[in-house]
Amino acid sequence: MREEFDAAIVGAGPAGISAACILADAGIKTIVFERGEYPGAKNMSGGVLYGHDLAQVLPDYAERNCPIERNIIESRIWYLSREAGYSFGYRDSIFAGERKHNAFTILRAKFDRWYAEQARKKGALIVPSTVVVDLLRDAKGQVAGVVGGRDQGEVRARVTLLADGINSPLAARTGFRREPRPEQVALAVKEIIDLPSEVIEQRFGVSGADGVTTEILGEVTGGMDGIAALYTNRSSISLAIGANLADFAARKLRPYELMESFKQHPMVAPLIAGGQPREYIAHWLPEGGYDAMPALYGDGYLIAGDSAMLFNALHREGNNLAMASGKMAAEAIIESLRRGDSSKRGLAGYGERLAASYVLKDMKKYRRFGRFRYERKELFNELPRVATFAAREMLTVNGVSKKEKQKLIMRTVRKEVPLPKLFRLLWQAWRAVR
């Protein structure tokens, strides 16, 4: 291939395809490289997507038959010890009506393929089965295109967008983003478990195409800083569990064994009973936060999505940050091409847009959150244990007065988490999320 493009995009995920749609709409000659056999073949997320950011790129996504699994009307949070747990949930009919598709579940192999197809229809060239192994530079050192693996040749482009995800040997090799340290990523494994749609609707108390998400914290991650999730799809359940990679290395827990014990938890097992596992996959989550973000653009290139470490762990948002950053990258590229300046200065519109948007504001707001969780392992050990103890005592009717029960609970709390430690934990939690 010896053709020249205006824009080359590495990675056909939500960031890359969002950019491709916007660029193609503006008549920019765009090529997208995807290393998988098809877009989505290598991608994984818990499985929640947000309609708002998708509509910014494709306002008519529903009419274009977007492969939505279930529209989320209820979000649950569980805090579990090994054998028990608390459940909080919020259900709102507004999410079935006027704010329908605020959040919905997807399966990435289907969604990304569909999304890339929309970009192709708009005129972008999507090239699957192609690994980008290096970047071209011109005499001044400005990025000038990409180099494909194994005789796939070079493609010159005036601007290159790196949207190749969190695991990017390309970024590390070319120096555009440092290789993450183990504590800057979480390793998550995921299973898709088939269940008939009627069974899902019965077990989760929903009807039609509505669904429920559950985020799970506590002892299920084996004392490591981590999270699990259980999401409803049309006729399957997405089950995911992950933890900080440095914790995995230190604790010597095997990810697949963690998944197996999670599936056997008394709050999880009944929901997936009788289900048929269909797929088992693994991926990183960017956990480094604001302070681990690379320079987001430079001479001839920009970085978007997971590749730029854009991820909000507290609100399980990643796909939307990828879409929003991909769109803003495309807008900046259009500007730079019109001005004929794709240097760092010419692409500065990307940084300005990100800074003015919720993307960087949220990244900044939660910059302490990752470190807080990583350093306060009580959240995943002592706290769920004493919380379980307290609920058990208060709910057991055995002739002991409530006053005595309270004393017993407080003694246990003090033993497991001394009060100064508990106050420090609460203070740090507040600082991490305020």
Q: Does the protein bind other proteins through residue 427 (CB under 8 A)?
A: no
- Answer for which of 1, 27, 153, 280 binds other proteins (CB under 8 A) is 280
Could you tell me the smallest distance in angstroms from the CB atom of residue 32 to other proteins?
A: 13
Among 95, 104, 231, 284, binds other proteins (CB under 8 A): 284
Exposure class string for 50-77: b at 16+ Cβ within 10 A, else e: bbebbeebbeebeeeebebbbbbbbbbe
Candidates 67, 123, 255, 298; binder of other proteins (CB under 8 A) is 255
Structure tokens at 321: 């940050």
The CB-of-197 to other proteins minimum distance in angstroms stands at 15
Instruction: Give the contact letters, 180-199, x = binds to other proteins (CB under 8 A), - = no.
Output: xxx--x-x-x-xx-------
Is residue 150 a contact residue for other proteins (CB under 8 A)? Answer: yes
120 Cβ neighbours under 8 A, 6+ residues apart? 126
142 lies in the site for other proteins, by CB under 8 A:
no
Stretch that binds other proteins, among 29-37, 78-86, 322-330, 411-419 (CB under 8 A): 29-37
Q: Does 130 bind other proteins (CB under 8 A)?
A: yes
By CB under 8 A, residue 178 contacts other proteins: no
Q: Please, which residue, 141 or 149, has the CB nearer to other proteins?
A: 149
* From 59, 153, 169, 266, residue interacting with other proteins (rule: CB under 8 A): 169
Collect all residues with Cβ–Cβ distance below 8 Å to 134 and sequence separation of at least 6: 146, 147, 170, 173, 174
Mask: binding to other proteins, 55-94, rule CB under 8 A, as x and -? Answer: ----------------------------------------
Of 148 and 349, the one with the shorter C-beta distance to other proteins is 148
- For residue 253, state whether it binds other proteins (rule: CB under 8 A): yes
Determine the Cα–Cα distance for residues 111 and 391; give it in Å rounded to an integer.
Answer: 42
Minimal distance, residue 120 CB to other proteins, in Å: 18
* C-alpha pair distances (Å), 388 with each of 158, 223, 304: 59, 15, 42
Based on the shown chain and the rule CB under 8 A, indicate whether residue 44 belongs to the binding site for other proteins: yes
Residue 316 within binding range of other proteins, rule CB under 8 A: no
Looking at residues 218 to 247 of the shown chain, list those that interact with other proteins (rule: CB under 8 A). 236, 245
Q: Which stretch binds other proteins (CB under 8 A): 48-56, 107-115, 204-212, 376-384?
A: 107-115
278, 345, 392, 431: residue in contact with other proteins (rule CB under 8 A)? 278
3-state secondary structure the chain: CCCEEEEEEECCCHHHHHHHHHHHHCCCCEEEECCCCCCCCCCCCCCEEEHHHHHHHCCCCCCCCCCCCCEEEEEEEEEECCCCEEEEEEECHHHCCCCCCCEEECCHHHHHHHHHHHHHHHCCEEECCCCEEEEEECCCCCEEEEEECCCCCEEEEEEEEECCCCCCHHHHHHCCCCCCCHHHEEEEEEEEEECCHHHHHHHHCCCCCEEEEEEEEEHHHCCCCEEEEEEECCCEEEEEEEEEHHHHHHHCCCHHHHHHHHHCCCCCHHHHCCCEEEEEEEEEEECCCHHHCCCCEECCEEECHHHHCCCECCCCECHHHHHHHHHHHHHHHHHHHHHCCCCCCCCHHHHHHHHHCHHHHHHHHCCCHHHHHHHCHHHHCHHHHHHHHHHHHHHCCCCCCHHHHHHHHHHHHHHHCCHHHHHHHHHHHHHHHC
Site map 368..387 versus other proteins, x via CB under 8 A: --------------------
Residue 2 binds to other proteins (criterion: CB under 8 A): no
Can you tell me which of 35, 265, 353, 373 binds other proteins, judged by CB under 8 A? Answer: 35
- Spatial contact of 351 and 297, defined as CB atoms under 8 Å apart: yes
Task: Kindly tell me which residue out of 112, 210, 378, 382 binds other proteins, with binding defined by CB under 8 A.
Answer: 112
Which CB atom, from 221 or from 336, has the smaller least distance to other proteins?
221
Q: Which of 9, 58, 73, 107 binds other proteins (CB under 8 A)?
A: 107
The answer to whether residue 131 forms part of the interface with other proteins (CB under 8 A) is yes
Structure-block tokens of residue 428: 């740090």
Residue 38 binding other proteins, by CB under 8 A: yes
Choose between 112 and 378: whose C-beta lies nearer to other proteins: 112
Residue from 76, 77, 100, 167 in contact with other proteins (CB under 8 A): 167
Positions that interact with other proteins (CB under 8 A): 35-38, 40-45, 107-112, 128-131, 148-150, 152, 167, 169, 179-182, 185, 187, 189, 191-192, 236, 245, 248-249, 252-256, 260, 264, 277-284
